[in-house]
Structure 1
Amino acid sequence: MIVTGWAMSCVCLLSTWGFPARVRISQASFLFPLFDSHSLLSFTPYLIDGGGDGDEGGSEGDEELGPLLNFEAVMKEAEARGVKLPSDMVEAAKNIGIREMFLLRYLELEGSAWPLSFLMKHCSMLRNRMLADPSFLFKVGIEVVIDSCCATFAEVQKRGKDFWAEFELYAADLLVGVVVDIALVGILAPYARIGKPSVSKGLLGGIQHACAALPSSVFEAERPGCKFSTKQRIATYFYKGALYGSVGFGCGLIGQGIANMIMNAKRFLSCLIVEHSKHLLWQRRSHLLQWHSL
């Protein structure tokens, strides 16, 4: 499992957003294509203000994201829908403004059924990805379903008749795989950047600022006001690989720990059953000896 986490990091380095990719020791791997027109044209990280360092293509950005709404317009629209905006969106509306598309999309998603409405309010990572791509959860589900089905097929072929006897190990491995799948899709997914990120000063602040400016994947398409240099794409190769490798390594440790706990628990229960059987056999022999003596 630990080796799997690092192997999977190499897969995501040369991948784009939207297709399943995970490597297991016990199953075939699914690799992202290096280039996909739908992914490159449709999925990019958006700034909540449609901003960037330059003004090139501003009219195209306005057509796609809608006009930039000021604080009064944002609050008026939110009050008309009866929705209370999160604090970071309110702050962005005060300082920069919010694009109409993002505001309307948030108001629509926030009015969804529970638990999506709750997560949109309190989980900024999910909210920002849903604002950039409303089909984000669908893609996560596709990744999990495909990977889980392939893993199940491989485990059944590998374990054979012992599958149900070792079902706990399969379930632990499957649970870890689901977490890694969600991490992979989330790391490579486009996201809306709300306002200007607050970074500390000094070396740490510089690193945070540089990481925030990186694309979400190596081959991410550029959009008006959102340009990426070759150095940034090369840095993304190593940054995303280290990030996803760390997640895979941590999940591998947890999964191995769960597997060890299950094995120890089964050995402990087996010992208890054996001891109990010996105790019953001894009692039975004692009763038989007493009966014969009578």
Structure 2
Amino acid sequence: MAIASCFFCVPTPNTSISESNLKWPLLASSPRLSSSSFAGVISAKSVSFHRRVPISPVFSASIDNGGSDNNNNGGGGGGDDGGKNDGNGDGGEDRDRNRNEAMILLAESGTGLDTLPKDLAAAIESGRIPGSVITRFLELQRSAVMRWLMQFAGFRERLLADDLFLAKLAMECGVGVFTKTAAEYERRRENFFNELEVVCADVAMAIIADFMLVYLPAPTVSLRPPLALTAGGISKFFHNCPENAFQIAISGTSYTLLQRLGAIARNGAKLFAVGTTSSLVGTAVTNAFIKAKGAVDQSSEGELETVPIVSTSVAYGVYMAVSSNLRYQVLAGVIEQRLLEPMLHQHKLALSAMCFAVRTGNTFLGSLLWVDYARLIGIQKSH
């Protein structure tokens, strides 16, 4: 119930653009309006947008009473968003407002649509992203590193949704090896060195998997245009699903309950592939280490057992698809985006510290659960 309630309690953006200062018909009919021509339009009315748009409330509440997202634009209820948008929102007023906010910001910064990435420009023209996303994009462009990362669509969608995404990625990968090793020792204690080969396999799997565990469930600003669903269009359905099942939909976009469940299934399939692959690498490294140790120490050759590659790899893939998938989606979409960021968005240092503490605890918990799970199904044995 606590997780479900997060769908209904979300922050709303605080933007204030006076409608009297905007030439709505002209803006709506100019999908490829350049910054120079747009500057002439707004100068006559002296539009002012000098107040900084808050970065944190990029996402807005767009949820109906039926448990799925809706833009409250007078359409039908339930989870079909009025039957217009295939679950991705079609709120005309929201999209007009988003488009005008974005064009004003681009005009003030002297940035033209033709200089933006194609997916971002298309999202602006269709009104699928609010002005606060454009503000964040312009700020990220000031950094050479961020500007380079923004060339990649996956990083662009995640950085626009969360300016601490790279910090969280560094946290997870940086503490991953330490917490995994500490958790292995906690579970094995006096048998830690006797089971060192298995420990090495677990740590190797963690190094490969940690990156994807942060990357895949991270909330995103979806710049991909929604696809119309047709009979049997499973791939189109998953295309329209959010990256994180619990993320807050931005203004002008919404997700149905079915699409949010689809996000869990899609990420679970991806993490199963990542877990199985990383385990294949980890167990192969472990077996090579065992054989090398046996060749050097002839007396211990009979005591060392190689790790079963196939069963271990499949088991780890299942573990990541279920346990890791759910834990990291709740962590990123509920704890961080819905709880911590609204409270601490003006205190980035405190927010980073809280995210570090929560992610460290989650990584340690995951290591403990993996050892118990591996022993429960019999792919690892205690000495």
TM-score over 0.5 for the pair: yes
Partner secondary structure for residue 150 of structure 2: helix
Matched to 1:213, the amino acid is N
2:206 aligns with one of 170, 174, 177:
177
Structure 1 counterpart of 2:287: 260
2:141 aligns with one of 83, 91, 110:
110
Q: Is 1:155 the counterpart of 2:184 in the alignment?
A: yes
Matched to 2:209, the amino acid is V
Greater RCO (Cα-Cα under 8 Å, separation 6 or more)? 1
Matched to 1:215, the amino acid is P
Aligned-partner Cα distance in 2 for 1:194–1:145: 30
Report the CA distance shift for 1:67/1:36 in structure 2 as closer, same or farther (over 3 A). Answer: same
Deviations 1:34-84 (A, max 9, x none): 46869973699979xx9943317728x958x981328984993269xxx95
2:259 aligns with one of 232, 244, 260:
232
Q: Is 1:120 the counterpart of 2:120 in the alignment?
A: no
Report the CA distance shift for 1:85/1:230 in structure 2 as closer, same or farther (over 3 A). Answer: closer
Q: How far is the alpha carbon of 1:256 from its aligned partner? A: 1.3
Matched to 1:154, the amino acid is A
1:55 aligns with one of 69, 74, 91:
91
Report the CA distance shift for 1:164/1:141 in structure 2 as closer, same or farther (over 3 A). Answer: farther
Aligned-partner Cα distance in 2 for 1:241–1:248: 10
1:241 aligns with one of 260, 264, 268:
268
Aligned-partner Cα distance in 1 for 2:287–2:164: 37
Aligned-partner Cα distance in 1 for 2:277–2:100: 41
Matched to 1:103, the amino acid is I
Structure 1 counterpart of 2:22: none
Partner secondary structure for residue 54 of structure 1: coil
Q: How far is the alpha carbon of 1:172 from its aligned partner? A: 5.2
Aligned-partner Cα distance in 1 for 2:109–2:227: 23
Q: How far is the alpha carbon of 1:191 from its aligned partner? A: 0.9
Report the CA distance shift for 1:160/1:214 in structure 2 as closer, same or farther (over 3 A). Answer: same
Structure 1 counterpart of 2:159: 130
Aligned-partner Cα distance in 2 for 1:173–1:107: 41
Matched to 2:103, the amino acid is L
| RMSD over aligned Cα atoms | 4.8
Which consecutive residues of structure 2, in runs of 5 or more, have no partner in the other structure?
12-55, 61-70, 72-84, 299-383
In percent, how many aligned pairs have the same letter? 23
Number of residues of Structure 1 aligned to a counterpart in Structure 2:
229
Q: How far is the alpha carbon of 1:133 from its aligned partner? A: 1.0
Note if contact 2:130-2:251 (Cα within 8 Å) is conserved in structure 1.
no
Report the CA distance shift for 1:214/1:88 in structure 2 as closer, same or farther (over 3 A). Answer: closer
Matched to 1:41, the amino acid is V
Q: Is 1:67 the counterpart of 2:101 in the alignment?
A: yes
TM-score, with normalisation over the residues of structure 1?
0.57
Note if contact 2:158-2:218 (Cα within 8 Å) is conserved in structure 1.
yes
Mapping of residues 1-294 of structure 1, within 5 Å? 34=3, 41=10, 52-55=88-91, 58=94, 62=97, 67-69=101-103, 73=107, 76-77=110-111, 85-90=116-121, 92=123, 99-114=130-145, 116-121=146-151, 123-145=152-174, 147-157=176-186, 158=188, 160=190, 163=193, 166=196, 170=199, 173-196=202-225, 206-222=233-249, 224-268=251-295
Matched to 2:286, the amino acid is A
Deviations 1:239-286 (A, max 9, x none): 332222222222222211222233234444557xxxxxxxxxxxxxxx
Matched to 2:263, the amino acid is T
Aligned-partner Cα distance in 2 for 1:228–1:177: 32
Aligned-partner Cα distance in 1 for 2:131–2:189: 54
Q: How far is the alpha carbon of 1:153 from its aligned partner? A: 1.2
Deviations 1:149-200 (A, max 9, x none): 331212334365864994x86455324213322222222211112252689x
